[in-house]
């Protein structure tokens, strides 16, 4: 089978997978920088993988059954037909200019219009355009496909999407009757910023990926994410009827909604950007042959965005269990009085609540210790939050010394993952008795799966897919409740037998549900299922799988009738 794998970034690793990239709420993962795309390509070597990347070209060698077909480096405008802020006259002739304006007007109107029923009688509600299909969503889709047809016939659109005419159409759509609340307040700066984001988001429309020598030759398109990275697969389905499979380990739309808006963006601009990503995501979800989220928490997002429940299949991320074998088989290792937290330092992880919970633990069990191991900090906001947490820990837990002449030691330690004392996640989890997750917002809790592979009992807040992941192998408490978190931690610290029993059950559950092998087996079956349901696409000299039903190999007139009925040919 020939798989067109569409990714974002190089190597061939997808941004937003259930590894160290994760979604906006995902902690440091266990899959390594390779991620699930690399394991998928190398694990399903019976198929041929054609890679298409919206980022840099792969930096590492690909296996023999995989090849890079196209790479579009970020920021490239190879077919820019008009400079930003310029007229369309230099980009298209009169007829094509009229086609562009009509298509863009439909897209802008569908983008800015409010969905029927988006506001209830009890107050305003706007889901950003990701609700089930309606008139506005259909209008947006019609404009999107018309622009795709124009780009395919006449060349690229990047400059045209930022032209003066496009900005004026956006302004008119924002002020039209029936526009979504807040859109009418957008000013010129907001319209220019929206046009810039539209150009970046719709850049795949202008790529040369849709001929018979590229995506048109694939049997199946597999997009490693929603949003713009799935847009080439959406167009391949439209132009060639190729089934589209979308896999998201971390919902892109959810990450966009949770991302900080920034002081430079007005409320109207944030509303319009949410509408853009919501409309595009909803169309991709509606048109995909199958959607494979990593957990049922993400599945609910898909259904809210209008995806057909029958076309959603949960496929848990696969993680290399062998990395954790040594720690998982040695349940007695680790300090029996140490709690471990691993993740990315950010407010959604509620380290403040964890520190207050540990103060309660420490008051009731003086020998308890807390080890906080954070991913390397890159963003200034994360660095500021981590410094604040360190200051709170110093205030809550003054350094303790055995005598006046000894150097004090704090029961809370802050370390960086990859450092000398915490080189790998498995080393960190194995060093303690209980792994704690204190988040108030969470996607797929990769940290908990790491701890489960290491046979560690866990205490977690009830957010995201936590309950789905741990089942009954750990303790779950409400978020933002330091007292409940402290009680659960103490219950496990004081009961070694229960702790070991839960840890063993957690490891058994992880080995059953979250291994690389189960992930590959799931996609192996999904690929064959989608191809078996797709219409036969005849190619000269090609032996297409499932082109002939099994009855074709049975001798007799019945087999002949079955074959001619399947192909539409008249009986002889």
Q: What is the pLDDT of residues 65-95, one digit of tens each?
A: 999 999 886 554 444 444 444 556 666 777 8
- The SS3 assignment for 375 reads coil
pLDDT number for residue 260: 63
- pLDDT tens track for 158-181: 788 988 899 999 999 999 998 988
Q: Could you tell me if 30 and 77 are in contact, meaning their C-beta atoms sit under 8 angstroms apart?
A: no
Q: Which of 228, 315, 317 is nearest to 32 (CA)?
A: 317
The C-alpha atoms of residue 463 and residue 442 are separated, in whole angstroms, by 6
Q: What would the two tokens of residue 539 be?
A: 């190619």
Mean pLDDT value of segment 399-424 = 76
> Does a cis peptide bond (omega within 30 degrees of 0) precede residue 425?
no
Q: Which CATH architecture has domain 1-72+207-320+516-535?
A: 3-Layer(aba) Sandwich (3.40)
pTM, full prediction? 0.84
Cα of first residue to Cα of last residue in the chain, in angstroms, is: 32
Q: Which of 387, 334, 362, 391 is nearest to 482 (CA)?
A: 362
Q: What would the two tokens of residue 572 be?
A: 């002889």
The C-alpha atoms of residue 324 and residue 516 are separated, in whole angstroms, by 13
- pLDDT tens track for 204-247: 999 999 999 999 999 999 999 888 999 999 999 999 999 999 99
CA distances from 320 to 77, 248, 389, 516 (A): 39, 19, 32, 6
List of residues 6+ apart from 513 with CB closer than 8 A = 316
Domain with CATH 3.40.50.2000 in the chain: 1-72+207-320+516-535, 321-514
Task: Using pLDDT thresholds of 50, 70 and 90, give the confidence band for residue 409.
Answer: confident
Task: Using pLDDT thresholds of 50, 70 and 90, give the confidence band for residue 556.
Answer: low
Starting at the edge strand found earlier in the chain, the sheet holding 2-7 runs 66-71, 48-53, 2-7, 220-223, 244-248, 290-293
Q: Does domain 321-514 have CATH number 3.40.50.2000?
A: yes
**Percent of the chain beyond pLDDT 70?**
79
What number of residues does the chain have? 572
Return the bridge partners of 120, or none: 123
Q: How far is CA 15 from the centre of its chain?
A: 8
Mean pLDDT value of segment 539-556 = 54
The more confident residue out of 404 and 433 is: 433
pLDDT number for residue 537: 64
Q: Which of 445, 384, 417 is nearest to 23 (CA)?
A: 445
CB atoms within 10 A of CB 114: 18
pLDDT number for residue 72: 84
CA distances from 541 to 22, 66, 529, 544, 550 (A): 42, 21, 24, 9, 21
Q: Could you tell me if 33 and 250 are in contact, meaning their C-beta atoms sit under 8 angstroms apart?
A: no
The C-alpha atoms of residue 497 and residue 501 are separated, in whole angstroms, by 6
Return the bridge partners of 222, or none: 5, 245
Place of tokens 């633990």: 361
The C-alpha atoms of residue 92 and residue 106 are separated, in whole angstroms, by 19
pLDDT number for residue 263: 53
Ranges 3-12, 108-117, 324-333: which has the least confidence: 3-12
């Amino acid at each position: 089978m020939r798989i067109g794998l569409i990714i974002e970034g190089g190597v061939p690793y997808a941004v937003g997978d259930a590894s160290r990239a994760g979604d906006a709420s995902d902690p440091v993962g266990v899959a390594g920088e390779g991620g699930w795309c690399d394991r998928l390509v190398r694990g399903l070597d019976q198929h041929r993988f054609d890679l298409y990347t919206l980022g840099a070209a792969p930096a590492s060698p690909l296996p023999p059954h995989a090849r890079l077909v196209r790479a579009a480096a970020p920021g490239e405008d190879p077919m820019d037909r008009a400079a930003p802020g310029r007229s369309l006259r230099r980009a298209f002739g009169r007829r094509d200019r009229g086609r562009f304006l009509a298509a863009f007007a439909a897209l802008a109107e569908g983008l800015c219009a409010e969905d029927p029923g988006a506001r209830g009688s009890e107050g305003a509600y706007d889901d950003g355009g990701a609700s089930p299909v309606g008139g506005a969503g259909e209008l947006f889709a019609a404009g999107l496909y018309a622009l795709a047809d124009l780009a395919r016939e006449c060349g690229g659109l990047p400059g045209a999407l930022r032209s003066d005419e496009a900005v004026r159409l956006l302004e008119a759509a924002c002020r039209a009757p029936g526009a979504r609340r807040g859109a009418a307040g957008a000013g010129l700066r907001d319209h220019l910023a929206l046009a810039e984001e539209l150009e970046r988001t719709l850049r795949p429309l202008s790529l040369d990926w849709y001929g018979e020598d590229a995506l048109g030759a694939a049997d199946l398109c597999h997009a490693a994410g929603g949003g713009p990275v799935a847009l080439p697969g959406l167009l391949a389905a439209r132009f060639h009827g190729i089934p589209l499979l979308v896999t998201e380990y971390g919902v892109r739309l959810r990450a966009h909604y949770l991302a900080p808006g920034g002081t430079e963006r007005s409320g109207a601009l944030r509303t319009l950007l949410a509408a853009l990503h919501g409309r595009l995501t909803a169309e991709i979800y509606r048109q995909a042959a199958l959607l494979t989220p990593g957990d049922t928490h993400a599945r609910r997002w898909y259904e809210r965005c209008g995806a057909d429940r029958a076309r959603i299949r949960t496929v848990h991320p696969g993680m290399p269990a062998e990395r954790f074998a040594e720690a998982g088989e040695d349940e007695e290792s680790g300090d029996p009085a140490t709690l471990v937290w691993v993740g990315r330092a950010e407010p959604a992880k509620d380290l403040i609540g964890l520190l207050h919970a540990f103060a309660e633990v420490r008051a009731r069990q003086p020998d308890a210790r807390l080890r906080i191991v954070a991913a390397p900090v890159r963003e200034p906001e994360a660095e500021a939050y981590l410094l604040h947490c360190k200051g709170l820990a110093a205030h809550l837990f003054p350094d303790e010394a055995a005598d006046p002449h000894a150097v004090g030691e704090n029961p809370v330690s802050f370390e960086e993952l990859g450092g000398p004392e915490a080189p790998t996640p498995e080393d960190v989890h194995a060093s303690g008795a209980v792994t704690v997750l204190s988040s108030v917002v969470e996607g797929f809790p990769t940290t908990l799966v790491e701890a489960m592979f290491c046979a560690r009992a866990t205490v977690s807040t009830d957010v995201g897919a936590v309950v789905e992941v741990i089942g009954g192998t750990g303790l779950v408490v409400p978020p933002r409740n330091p007292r409940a978190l402290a009680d659960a931690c103490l219950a496990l610290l004081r009961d070694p037998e229960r702790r070991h029993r839960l840890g063993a059950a957690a490891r058994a559950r992880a080995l059953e549900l979250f291994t690389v092998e189960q992930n590959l087996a799931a996609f192996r079956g999904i690929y064959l299922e989608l191809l078996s349901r797709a219409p036969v696409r005849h190619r000269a000299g090609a032996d297409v799988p499932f082109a002939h039903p099994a009855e074709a190999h049975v001798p007799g007139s019945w087999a002949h009738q079955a074959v001619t009925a399947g192909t539409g040919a008249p009986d002889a």
